[in-house]
Every structure is written in structure tokens, then in C-alpha cells.
């Protein structure tokens, strides 16, 4: 959680085009995140800056950029 609070959140919070970000802990004590941007270009720019976290901080299994097609 320290890496998330001290490294990830400040970087994402300043990203151009950020709409919202969500970080979730699952019942299996794993995590996932969803970060929404105003445009695909803004999302891809942020995705290009993502690097693997330091050992033990988290594991990056995948990173995908997609289009929001609906929300509630």
C-alpha cells in the first residue's frame, strides 16, 4: 500500500486527461485497478509511462487500454 499511496497515486493524479482511478483489493487479497481518461491518446500516454513496480510492492500482470462503451 505504501508504493500505491506514495508513488502511484501522485503520478496518476497529475496525469493529463485523468477522469478517475480505482484501486481494488479482491477477496483473494489480490488487487486490480481501473483508470479512466478523457481520451485514448491520454490513456496511451499514461500507459507508456508505466513501469514494473519494485520487487515486493506489487506484480503487474497486464496493462490494457480500451474504450469506455457505457457507464452508470
What are the tens digits of pLDDT across the range 33-52? 999 999 999 999 999 988 87
CATH code, domain with 8? 3.30.70.100
Q: Is residue 8 part of a domain?
A: yes
Give the single-character DSSP code of 48: T
pLDDT at 56 over 80: no
pLDDT at 17 over 90: yes
Q: What is the 3-state secondary structure (H, E, C) of 11-27?
A: HHHCCCCEEEEEEEECC
Count of domains for the chain: 1
Domain range enclosing 27: 2-47
Query: What pTM was estimated for this model as a whole?
Result: 0.85
Confidence at residue 32, expressed as pLDDT on a 0 to 100 scale? 92
Q: Is residue 61 part of a domain?
A: no
CA separation for the pair 38, 48 (Å, rounded): 16
Q: Kindly indicate the confidence band of residue 12, based on its pLDDT and cuts at 50, 70 and 90.
A: very high
Amino acid at each position: 500500500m505504501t508504493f500505491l499511496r506514495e508513488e502511484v497515486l501522485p503520478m496518476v493524479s497529475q496525469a493529463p486527461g485523468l477522469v478517475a482511478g480505482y484501486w481494488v483489493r479482491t477477496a483473494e487479497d489480490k488487487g486490480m485497478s481501473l483508470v479512466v481518461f478523457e481520451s485514448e491518446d491520454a490513456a496511451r500516454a499514461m500507459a507508456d509511462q508505466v513501469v514494473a513496480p519494485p520487487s515486493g510492492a506489487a506484480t503487474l500482470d497486464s496493462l490494457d487500454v480500451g474504450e469506455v462503451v457505457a457507464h452508470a
